Structure 1
Amino acid sequence: MKFKIDNQTFKDLDIFDTAQNGQSVFALFNFTQCLGGKERLRSFLSSPVTDLTELTERKAAIAYFQKYLPIGLEVDKNSLDFTEFYLKNGSYPTRIVSKAIAIERKIMDKISPNSEYYLIEKGVSSTVNLLKSIHQFSLELSAKFQRSESYPTLLQKNNEKVLEIFSQPEYEEIINLKKIKAYDTSRLDYLFRYKDRHHIRFFLSLIYEYDAFRSVAKAAGEYKLSYPEILPETENRLNIEGLFHPFVENAIPNDIHFDGSSNLLFVSGPNMAGKSTFLKALGICVYLAHVGFPVPASRMTLSVLSGLCTTINIADNLKSGYSHFYAEVMRIKDVTAELSSNKNMLVIFDELFRGTNVKDAYDGTLAIVSAFSRIKSSFFVVSTHIVEVAKELDDNTKIKFCYFEVDQPDGVPTYTYKLKEGVSDVRLGMYIINKERLIEQINSITDDK
């Protein structure tokens, strides 16, 4: 089953769109060395999955690259570029010409060079170089597997297929080829672009995949990411230790724990205390786990979810005539529709009903949070600055209450960005207004003309 995610969530979490500081999750992981690897990385990030086996195999392969293959599969980039060009262009041969004709073509090219023969000659030599690099890497990989008690299933399956292909006579000959003669060019062109084109495409795909794996592994080391433990969806678990936002320098880590006794986390705290950053970090962490990537946390255990919906940076829709409040209502309606068919989701709302008056925001938050808490198969995280709602929800055993701590020595707030159990009673609106001397500035304005 496909993992459910929508454009609003992609935007909220800056998966591909550039964030305000010029970063995106894709850019964070992009240490790829070739265009095909970059596109494969994008494909992984575009397509989260719910298949536990696929997630486990990809995660293990990336972790293996980080530990044992930090350099990855090294290929000559010029050879790779030309091979890709060669496979896409020119007339594909449907038969092998005789040695005499092959030699004649070589001679004619010397007398009068033509682009078609250059494409074939250069393309064949480039492809041979790539094949030799792949073969050598596969032998090294086999040697590592023999010295290790455990190795990733995905890499093992790939390597078995690679070595099986290279055991065929045509490929054994290619590996031992010292010099490419005129007839070699003709018959290998037939092999690469016609008879065995599917194998050459497989080898290119492998280069792209291993480039993406090496890129993600490098990011894991660079940003101190960890590999999550992924469980079957029936476990209904989401526990994270040391969660941090990967875009925030020297980020303060926090923990979050769900279990069978509660399914909704109610987060309070004043503005700028860290609520939105925490919610984005949580969303990114869960999303990356469903791509099979390492996550921004020291430890994570989660059961496979069917989808992720966030509402963090929702805007009004002038084209549709929606106010901000109405856009919020429609967003909740859309999420509810998803929950009816995807009962195993993580849903995140930041500051419910910020687009309406305090009374409606209070009543709406109370009603929506109470309703969400009854959906036991999904997880919900809701932040708000309307802390009075918490008093009405206090006896709901399905809700956990947390807040972002703010110290106020001498009346001056200090943001710790640490999540604590309980409900915040800190109000900083007037402090900020007074700090910026807004009232004085307004009062200084005169009506003199």
Structure 2
Amino acid sequence: MSFITDKQTIDDLNIFSKSGSDSIYHIFNKTFTQGGAALLEELFRNPLADHRAINDRVAVLRYFLESKTAFPLQGNRFEEAERYLSNTDPRSRLSNQGFSMADFNAAAQSVTALMEILQGLKKFLQEIQAKVTGNPYGAEVEKVLALLNAKELELLFTDHSKGKISSGKIVEYDNILRFQQRGLLEKILQYIYQLDVYISIAGVARERGYSFAAALERNANRLDLQGVYHPLLNKPVANSLTMTPDSNIVFLTGANMGGKSTFMKSLSIAMYLAHLGFPIAAKSMEFSVCDGMYTTINLPDNLAMGASHFYAEVLRVKKVAVELGAGKNLFVVFDELFRGTNVKDAYEGTIAIMEAFASKPHSLFVISTHIMEAGEVLQKKCKNMIFRYLPTRMENGKPIYTYTLTEGITDDRHGMIIINNEGVIELIQDKKQAKQPHADFLADKQTIEDLNLQGKFKQQSIYSLFNHLQTRGGEKMLEGMFARPLKTPGQINQRSATFAFFQQHRVIFPVIRSQVESMEDYLSGGAGAALPRVAWGIFAKKFKQVLFHNAELLQLQAGQSVTIEVLQAFRDFFKELKGKAGVEIYQKDLDTAWKVLQDSRLQSLLDAPEGQLSLMQLIKNDYVIRHAMISQMENLLKLIYELDVFIGVAAVAAEQDFVYAKALPAEQMVLDLEGFRHPGLRKGVSNNLRLTKERNMLFLTGANMAGKSTFMKSMGIAVYLAHMGFPVAAKRMEFSVKDGLFSSINVSDNLDMGYSHFYAEVLRTKTVAQAVNASQDLYVLFDELFKGTNVKDAYDATLAVTKAFSENRNSFFVVSTHIIEVGEALGKISDNVQFSFLPTVMKEGVPTYPYTLASGITTDRQGMIIIENEKIVDIIKAEQYAN
């Protein structure tokens, strides 16, 4: 039976990472061979679900730990041996009838490497076999020795000299190793990789002081974990936790930055490693083997599925519920259950789901929350629930975090203290600094990722939406435009008008991608050489063609032919373009390109009739194109790339029915969007929005799934594209050009830096505050301010920050929240805030969402209806056991 988990869990625990250097896998990957590293990754991806198999692996690893065994072979010889064995082409087989010295030398090195590996392995295993009886690795030793002692390999160990191997023996051994017994050799290599993995893991355990867990039968449903800590932290605080069938669900609370997420990750990593049979960062551990584990720690929304953050949470709980309902014994971790909804629904949802979890005594659950009130209710309802918190103590007005698990429910509320300690409000309210000039439009990595703007291969990125280009150079130019939006109305409107010109005339790129690539390859050989040197090079190619059938001359002829075709096509294209109405907007680039194409040196070759070129014509053309005019050709290519972008983006605008925004000076302070939608949603609902100096902040509310995040992303993408001069998904748009755009939509915690989710939100707010303090005029989007904290702190912080930002009249702000009481208070103290919401319409007891902006503050609360409609509690309590 296989252990079940998923990508969300793997990502939460950072089992693997993109950089690789800060992952759990990286800690253990001290292997000497590439095959060992690959096998280690395979083991990491396949935890065990049988206590006997886990304990057997633990016994083997403990043996290598206690024996302090070192890897007995040279790891650098394996890559050579693998490459050698992988060449199964019979034409490469050495023969006594003859072979080239190069083939022989290569084979001799590889054969020698393999023989050293095999002989060293045999000696090592024989020593192990002789030293210890009852060795848990003994069965594996016997298997490998049986392979090594196979009659087919006997010659490799007995029939060769101790010195240099003769050529005849090399031929014979090559035939045995690579053809007759290659399958046997590959089996032996796999055992070596396994040995490599075991020794490496044991070495990590020894070096780091890790211990091994004892696996119990799955039905015992116990966890006794002493002194566990996070393996990626420098100075971690260890904690202990015991869970039994009578205490199989943990209700975990604690202030922001108190260490809840880190503790849950530490616990989950230990459980994951224990199911691998690997050593863990703890003093000791006993655990019942589970059928699988699911964690939910950093869960983003999913625009592609139409899932808000809350609905993504609901679907996550439902996924776990289905497995529980099917009778699976799981280890389940939820960090901040239902933080993406309003307080009332989060309170009721937390109680309902945790009460349902408590009905599953054969699984283990650890659930954290900021809704302490739910714990008080659950204490009375669930006898198998235990309550733990991570305390905070105040010293000189500052919170100190012990990171030590304590029994009970916290009453710590220090969110505003953290905000004040970071000086966020003061930064916003302080007298503004002299404006710091920035050449570039400001948009940081968080904003780019929130809006999914960049990335050629990133699914549904805005870049990929526009990337329907014909040239590699055009794609790079498009990337540059996405990386550097414009900052002056003149530049923006000029670029927009150029796109509009090409869209109006439905201009089609005159050549295909392969033609441009052939031209690029041909021009890449140009170096500005003199005519005699060019002639000599081509004569040399002709000589090699005649004597050795060399293809270099043919490749040169083909490249030159295609290049001339491209130049002819663009000459005709630009000639036609010159007569089109409105071409003045493109006149400068057109004149530059036309000047190159009308150069007298090009005319004879462009006007020459088709047919086979003489060698002298080939030389003359090559000299003109790749040498005499190489700089002009390179400039022409840049214009072709730019033209590719203009035509490609214009085509997308026509196909998608996008429009071009009108850019206005910053001081006009207007954002007027009519009929805008998310460009990635062809059937997205359109909305209108107008912000001005008098009403420069939008306070946005709405129920879960009503469309707040999509609305904010749609606006942010429109603003970003408009600053690029690109078409936007709207019917009309006018906007004041600003210094930058900042968003805070999917902010995650940062374990490396010690950031909780709430603290990450605080730091994100501080980043924006610093930009505002530097007198930058910005577009700012905050989706669900401070959703990672308790209700009181979230209310106080949201009100304080929103009020402070609203006093800045030179930037535009859109702030969404589930805490509607903030809006009511804000309306009494600020006169420049407009209040809008995305409504919910109930139809036969089911919420439906028109996604259309309305004026006012919502009173909709349908979170529990969504949970009930998904029948999650019923699924959890179902008695359909799969085993």
Same fold (TM over 0.5): yes
**1:280 corresponds to 2:717:** no
* 1:405 counterpart letter in structure 2: P
1:131-183 deviation line (CA, Å, top 9, x unaligned): 11111111001121xxx2x3352x21111112222333112323322254322
Structure 1 segment 4-403 matched on structure 2, within 5 A: 4-17=442-455, 22-71=459-508, 73-89=509-525, 92=527, 94-97=529-532, 108=543, 111-112=546-547, 113-144=549-580, 148=581, 150-153=582-585, 155-178=586-609, 180-341=613-774, 343-395=776-828, 396-403=830-837
The worse-fitting range, judged by mean Cα deviation, of 180-189 and 344-353 is 180-189
Task: Go from structure 1 to structure 2 and tell me whether the alpha carbon gap of 1:52 and 1:25 turns closer, same or farther (over 3 Å shift).
Answer: same
Q: How far apart are the structure 2 equivalents of 1:79 and 1:226?
A: 32
Residue pair 1:97, 1:187 contacting (<8 A) in 2 also = no
- 1:31 deviates by 1.2
| Partner amino acid, structure 1, of 2:847 | P
**Aligned-residue offset at 1:190:** 2.5
Task: Give the whole-Å Cα distance in 1 for the aligned partners of 2:538 and 2:793.
Answer: 85
> What letter is aligned with 1:49?
L
Q: Give the direction of change, closer, same or farther, for the CA distance of 1:106–1:312 in structure 2 (3 Å limit).
A: closer
375-384 or 187-196, which deviates more? 187-196
CA contact (8 A) 1:373 1:398 kept: yes
Contact 2:457/2:464 (<8 A) preserved: no
Deviates more, 1:174-183 or 1:22-31: 174-183
Q: Are residues 152 and 54 of structure 1, via their aligned partners in 2, closer, same or farther at CA, if it must alter by over 3 Å?
A: farther
CA gap of 1:104–1:416, structure 2 versus 1, over 3 A, is: closer
Q: What's the CA shift for 1:423?
A: 0.5
Q: Secondary structure at the match of 1:276?
A: helix
CA contact (8 A) 1:232 1:304 kept: yes
Cα gap change, 1:107 to 1:307, in 2 (>3 Å): closer
Match of 2:403 in 1: none
CA distance in structure 1 between the partners assigned to 2:783 and 2:528 by the alignment: 60
- Separation (CA, whole Å) in 2 of partners of 1:420 and 1:277: 15
The aligned amino acid for 1:169 is S
- SS state at 2:726 partner: coil
- Match of residue 838 from structure 2: 404
Residue 433 of structure 1 is aligned with which of 839, 845, 867? Answer: 867
Unaligned runs of 5+ in 2: 1-438
Aligned equivalents of 2:597, 2:455: Cα separation in 1: 42
Deviates more, 1:126-135 or 1:31-40: 31-40
Alignment-derived partner of residue 347 in structure 2: none
Q: Which runs of 4+ in 1 moved over 4 A?
A: 17-20, 98-107, 437-445
Amino acid at match of 1:248: L
More off after superposition, 430-439 vs 127-136:
430-439
- 2:558 is aligned with what amino acid? K
The TM-score normalised by the length of structure 2 is 0.47
Cα distance, 1:381 vs. partner? 0.3
For residues 405-437 of structure 1, what are the alpha-carbon distances to aligned partners after superposition, in whole Å with 9 as ceiling and x for unaligned? 112245432211110111101111232233344
CA 1:428–1:123 in structure 2 vs 1: closer, same or farther (change >3 Å)? Answer: same
Q: Are the equivalent residues in 1 in contact too, given 2:545–2:553 (CA < 8 A)?
A: no
**Post-superposition shift, 1:306?**
1.0
Q: Distance in 2 between matches of 1:347 and 1:19?
A: 27
Q: Which moved more, 1:208-217 or 1:160-169?
A: 160-169
- Give the Cα separation in 2 of the matches to 1:24 and 1:312: 16
Q: Give distance in 1, aligned partners of 2:518 and 2:729.
A: 38
Mean Cα deviation higher: 317-326 or 216-225: 216-225
Could you say which residue in structure 1 is the equivalent of 2:236?
none
The answer to whether the 8 A contact 2:538-2:553 is kept is no
Q: What RMSD over aligned residues (CA atoms) do the two structures have, in Å?
A: 2.5
Q: What secondary structure is seen at the aligned counterpart in 1 of 2:566?
A: helix
Comparing 211-220 with 5-14, which one deviates more in the overlay?
211-220
How many residue pairs get aligned? The number is: 437
User: Structure 2 vs 1, CA of residues 170 and 342 (structure 1 numbering), >3 Å: closer, same or farther?
Assistant: farther
Return the index of the structure with the highest Cα Rg: 2
Are the aligned partners of 2:528 and 2:628 in contact in 1 as well (CA < 8 Å)?
A: no
Change (3 A) 1:122 1:93: farther
Residues 249, 83 of structure 1: alpha-carbon distance in 2 compared, 3 angstrom cutoff: closer
Q: What amino acid is aligned across from residue 223 of structure 1 in structure 2? A: Q
In the alignment, which residue of structure 2 is the partner of 1:416? 850
Distance 1:270 1:19, change over 3 A: farther
- Compute the displacement of 1:357 (Å): 0.3
Q: Gaps spanning 5+ residues in structure 1: where?
A: none
Aligned residue type for 1:123: G
Greater CA deviation, 342-351 or 180-189?
A: 180-189
CA contact (8 A) 1:132 1:175 kept: yes
- For normalisation by structure 1, the TM-score amounts to 0.90
- 1:185 Cα offset (Å): 2.2
Task: Find the residue that maps to 1:310 and give its secondary structure.
Answer: strand
**Which stretch of the first structure deviates more once superposed, 336-345 or 350-359?**
336-345
Moved more, 396-405 or 91-100: 91-100
Q: Deviations over 1:97-155 (max 9, x none)?
A: 399969966863662344443343333222222111111111001121xxx2x3352x2
Q: Percent of counterpart pairs with the same letter?
A: 37
8 Å contact 1:99–1:183 — kept in the other structure?
Answer: no
- Structure 1 residue 442: Cα displacement: 6.5
Q: What amino acid is the match of 2:449?
A: K
The 2-side partners of 1:345 and 1:99 are apart by 56
SS in 2 for 1:258: strand
Deviations 1:294-335 (A, max 9, x none): 001111001111100011011111121211000000101111
Letter in structure 2 aligned against 1:165:
V
Q: Is the 8 A contact 2:535 2:619 kept in 1?
A: no
Contact 1:62 1:216 in 2 (8 A): yes
The change in CA–CA distance for 1:156 and 1:342 in structure 2 (over 3 A counts) is: farther
Q: Give distance in 2, aligned partners of 1:379 and 1:168.
A: 52
Aligned-partner SS, 2:858: coil
Change (3 A) 1:248 1:99: closer
